[in-house]
Amino acid sequence: MSEQTRFLLSQSDLPKSWYNVMADSPVPPTPVLHPGTFEPVTPDFLSVLFPMELIMQEIATDAYIDIPEEVRDIYKLYRPTPLIRATRLEKALDTPAHIYFKNESVSPTGSHKPNTAIAQAFYNKAAGTKALTTETGAGQWGSALSLACNFFGLDLEVYMVKVSYQQKPYRRIMMQTYGAEIYASPTDRTQFGRIILEKDPDCSGSLGIAISEAVEVAATSEGRKKYSLGSVLNHVLMHQTVIGEEALKQMDLAGEYPDVVIGCVGGGSNFAGLAYPFLRQNLKDGQRARLVAVEPTATPSITKGAYTFDYGDTAKMAPIVKMHTLGHDFVPPAIHAGGLRYHGMAPSLSAFCDAGLIDAVSVKQRATFEAAVTFAKAEGIIPAPETAHAIRVAIDEALDAKAKGEKRVILFNFSGHGHFDLAAYDVYLSGKLEDYEYPAEAIQAAMENLPQVKMPV
Ligand SMILES: Cc1ncc(COP(=O)(O)O)c(C=O)c1O
């Protein structure tokens, strides 16, 4: 009989709680600062943007937080997601390694993002919020929140980075189908957008600018609208831990334990979702899985950025956090992994990398697409360009195991499919895709504009 390749859980195995890594963190949390005063923020300041339940989750120290039944009910549309052993990829690479991936692309919108979108929409609805605002880069986050707001009867305004709005009309149409309003950012709807457009009418936008617009709309709505973020924050990463909790059970079904756990990182949420439950096992259960976060050489916030206090957005309206950053006025190169273009990184993940608990590597665009095509040909699923970064490193690990004649168990997060990203594949397949390394001088220059926070960095 051929080997088993799909490890499935039943709906009754759906996790009942999220895992809050802060409870077990060996590094103390760093303060979140007010962007105007540089003093630690109060829940009152944050309550302009977020409902109190999410603010409490942001600072929670309990290890587990119950997932509300209403959220689990919607999770059941696509969870538990499959764990797949990629035996055809193993064969194609002729490697003794065993390669597993957790397939988050089976959600209705095609990525892991609904895991937190559904939770955030639920807590906003419960708090009486009528409408949400958010930004989106590649469109995966906007699609997920559009789906979630539709389920809970909330209105939604999405500020979509202009270059993606133009390159990805199908993502826009998907969001509109669920009932959201989409604007190409920078817009003339906000004061900050108008300032940017005055300086540069052709500005193609950035995630930092779109965040500023979405935050401004919520902050000036006199309480009618709240803001929702798809990555970076503690509560967002925590909502994603259903991925890792399921994967732990599924690896058990497969009778193996990963030597290495891999995920791509934009703001850190899909990686943390898979890796933090494995980090808990490292910290508390004597396991020794290597945890590897993968970023593009074009936006190398962990591998080349500074670990310091910086604003979360370009307009300096969002709170200041300590993180790996390329500077809040970072203008991202037009790489094809739109979801990995953020200037910063989740504070928790930044702290764990700094403490040596998590490794980070960066990979180039062409090698990334080469890995994506190898994977698609072997396993059939076309990955999102973001996901392909994780696949590159999973393949490199498998080839390294082959070179050393080792059996290695590799687990990576398949964070999304690339069905709306085929234009990027077209550029790669036609030989026009170029590698890009973010220049060290640009990082140096951006460091001059960091907030002058009087806190030990
Ligand atoms: C498919 C996919 N993977 C990964 C990411 C990166 O985000 P994060 O690091 O928060 O998981 C994105 C972001 O949009 C995405 O769409």
Quote the CA–CA distance of 432 and 435 in Å, as a whole number: 10
**DSSP per position, 131-168:** EEEEEESSSHHHHHHHHHHHHHT-EEEEEEEHHHHHH-
Scanning the structure block, which residue is given the tokens 């003093």? 39
* 340: confidence class by pLDDT, cuts 50, 70, 90: confident
pLDDT(144) > 70: yes
Could you identify the atom of ligand 1 that is nearest to the CA of residue 271?
Answer: 11
Quote the CA–CA distance of 33 and 272 in Å, as a whole number: 23
Give the residue whose CA is nearest to atom 7 of ligand 1.
Answer: 266
pLDDT for the residue numbered 334: 66
Quote the CA–CA distance of 393 and 388 in Å, as a whole number: 9
Give the residue whose CA is nearest to atom 13 of ligand 1.
Answer: 339
CA of 183 to the centre of ligand 1 (A): 20
Tell me, using a 6 A CB cutoff, whether residue 124 lines ligand 1.
no
pLDDT(255) > 60: yes
Q: Which of 9, 21, 15 is nearest to 269 (CA)?
A: 21
Q: What are phi and psi of 363, to 5 degrees?
A: -130, 155
The secondary element (H helix, E strand) that includes residue 412 is: strand 409-414
Q: What is the pTM of this model?
A: 0.97
Please state, in angstroms and as integers, the Cα–Cα distance from residue 210 to each residue in 174, 266, 386, following that order.
19, 15, 19
Give the residue whose CA is nearest to atom 15 of ligand 1.
Answer: 339
pLDDT(177) > 60: yes
Instruction: Give 56-76 pLDDT, tens digit per residue.
Output: 999 999 999 999 999 999 999
Instruction: Give 21-42 pLDDT, tens digit per residue.
Output: 999 999 999 999 999 999 999 9
pLDDT for the residue numbered 439: 86
CA of 263 to the centre of ligand 1 (A): 10
pLDDT for the residue numbered 456: 62
CA of 242 to the centre of ligand 1 (A): 16
pLDDT(1) > 60: no
pLDDT(434) > 80: yes
Probe target for ligand 1 pocket from 102, 104, 111, 336, with the most ligand atoms within 8 Å of CB: 111
Tell me, using a 6 A CB cutoff, whether residue 415 lines ligand 1.
yes
pLDDT for the residue numbered 161: 93
Tell me, using a 6 A CB cutoff, whether residue 267 lines ligand 1.
yes
Scanning the structure block, which residue is given the tokens 């090698």? 367
Instruction: Give 68-124 pLDDT, tens digit per residue.
Output: 999 999 999 999 999 999 999 999 999 999 999 999 999 999 999 999 999 999 999
Is the dihedral angle over the CA atoms 33, 34, 36, 38 positive or is it negative?
A: negative
**In the chain, pLDDT over 90 holds for what percent of residues?**
85
